[in-house]
Amino acid sequence: MNLTKEQFASMVDHTNLHADATRADFERLCREAVQYGFKSVAINSYPVSMCRKFLEGTPVLTGAALSFPLGQTSIDMKVAEAKDAIANGAQEFDYVENVGRVREHDYAYIEEEMSRMVEVARNAGITCKVILETCYLTDQEIVEVCKVARRVKPDFVKTSTGFGTAGAKVEHVRLMKQTVGDEVQVKAAGGIRDAKTAIAMVEAGATRIGCSAGIKIYNELAAMEQAKDLA
């Protein structure tokens, strides 16, 4: 497919989720997101208010990663963290589902968790993304979670945190999209470091890309466009 650098930028959640990130790192992240026209910055919940101020007056959204990266907190704690992030200015949030409960095939728990997080997002008028952490799941488990999502209707199902044993895989993105259909969008994240991989994820059905290599990929796409123009 012909993915332009502008189309790519409009899908990017520009990411810094490192434990040692400083105020200067977050300021740079926000400045880069504005410069390149990225969709959002993806950060942990602590720097949300800081980044919202850095991005004031720009179209770039401030997104919070919740129960990150393990997902091993109670539903009540996830709800509380979501409300706190929203109070601090979050315009989107990505939360990690309880992967252990998926592996136990306790999909009633996953549906309750997802329903309550989606309710928080809907009440605030913001976007909710559910991180499956697909590297730990079988294809059938991925399908079952996506069936829950098709009923509950978060805005996105998302492949990965980037902190698991593997990141996004094209076959998982395709499977997720086939299962949720047009009811829910798919975000690919984790290990997306070049234009070829980004294009493959979009071709498989992803409409949002989470990565820290967005500038590198943007420049690769720009070079590909230039080469095409010169051909």
Amino acid at 52: R
Question: Is 187 a catalytic site residue?
Answer: yes
CA 217 to chain centroid: 17
Token readout for 59 is 């179209």
The pLDDT tens digits for 122-175 are 999 999 999 999 999 999 999 999 999 999 999 999 999 999 999 999 999 999
Distance CA 221, CA 225 (A): 6
**Number of separate helices (H) and strands (E) present in the chain:** 10, 8
The pLDDT tens digits for 107-127 are 999 999 999 999 999 999 999
Annotated active-site residue in 39, 78, 129, 187: 187
Beta-sheet strands, E only, within the chain: 12-15, 40-44, 61-66, 92-96, 127-131, 156-158, 185-189, 206-211
pLDDT at 65: 98
**pTM of the entire predicted model:** 0.97
DSSP 132-169: --GGGS-HHHHHHHHHHHHHH--SEEE---SSSS----
- Mean pLDDT for the chain? 97
pLDDT at 1: 77
pLDDT at 230: 85
Question: Dihedral sign, CA of 201, 139, 120, 81?
Answer: negative
CA 61 to chain centroid: 12
Annotated active-site residue in 94, 129, 155, 169: 94
The pLDDT tens digits for 76-108 are 999 999 999 999 999 999 999 999 999 999 999
Mean pLDDT of 29-54: 98
pLDDT score of 231 more than 80: no
Question: Is 158 a catalytic site residue?
Answer: yes
Instruction: Answer for the pair 69, 49: CB distance below 8 angstroms, yes or no.
Output: no
Annotated active-site residue in 129, 158, 169, 177: 158
